[in-house]
Amino acid sequence: MTAGTMRVLGGEVSPFTARARLALELRGVAYELLDEPLGPKKSDRLLAANPVYGKIPVLLLPDGRAICESAVIVQYVEDVARGSGGAEAGGLLLPDDPYERAMHRFWTVFIDDKFWPALDAVSLAPTKDARVQAVVDTRAALNRLEEAFKDRSNGAAFFSGRDAAPGLLDLALGCFLPALRACERLHGLSLMDASTTPLLDGWSRRFAAHPAAKRILPDTDKVVQFTRFLQAKFGVHES
């Protein structure tokens, strides 16, 4: 990686910040987390770093340049590792096979476009009917990801097809595990378990036990508190 310390502008409970940080952790890249405070107004620091979207996370390079969007940050980390020749096959976030790389990217898009919006809506959709539908949509997305794990893992511990090291697709879904467990606790649900999604259930436990995940992923209690804060902010009333 580039000489000097990277900085990540983000938030401790943000799943997208966690995704970027996990990529850096897995590649052994030193970085500093700059916590972006919650508030009605975005900070000047964030708007200067990401003037297009004004969102976290942002990876600040040592030379002052900024890279925005978690998926783009992860791909940057991967590209630099490959380009520098410092990445061994067992540590790469994406497979070498072009088709497998495409599949991992496809399912990453599915997670961001289908799974996460559904899970988020379970707690934050404006109406009870919408929240009920969100539970159905979340379970449907998890069922598809259960099949994706079977196909992509080839019987290994992670989506990456390896037993020791997670890859891109593991990070893409794993960063949402605290939000999923918080959602289950808040609403008395069981969304990912041994009876409905046994492969994902086992994967989730292995991922959460990985040293990088243990360092980065926030406690469920913190995410529960943050979700309640968002419910109050947006006027979502459970009934």
Give me the tens of pLDDT residue by residue for the chain, a chain 239 residues long: 445 789 999 999 999 999 999 999 998 889 999 999 877 789 999 999 999 999 999 999 999 999 999 999 999 999 988 877 655 545 689 998 999 999 999 999 999 999 999 999 999 999 999 999 999 999 999 999 999 999 999 999 999 999 999 999 999 999 999 999 999 999 999 999 999 999 999 999 999 999 999 999 999 999 999 999 999 999 998 76
Domains of the chain: residue spans and CATH? 6-84 (3.40.30.10), 98-234 (1.20.1050.10)
Distance in angstroms (rounded) separating the CA atoms of residues 203 and 206: 5
**pLDDT value at residue 28:** 86
Quote the CA–CA distance of 137 and 129 in Å, as a whole number. 12
Rounded Cα gap, residues 161 and 166, in angstroms: 8
- Find out whether 17 and 36 touch, Cβ atoms under 8 Å: no
- Contact between 216 and 18 under an 8 Å Cβ cutoff? The reply is yes
Alpha helices in the chain (DSSP H): 15-26, 44-49, 70-84, 98-110, 116-124, 128-153, 168-174, 177-187, 198-209, 211-216, 220-234
Q: How far, in Å, CA of 23 to CA of 31, rounded?
A: 11
Dist CA 28 CA 22 (whole Å): 10
Residue 41 pLDDT: 87
Cα–Cα distance between 169 and 24 in angstroms, integer? 15
Contact 19, 175 (CB under 8 A): yes
What was the pLDDT predicted at 90? 53
Q: Are 70 and 17 in contact (CB under 8 A)?
A: yes
Determine the residue type at 30: A
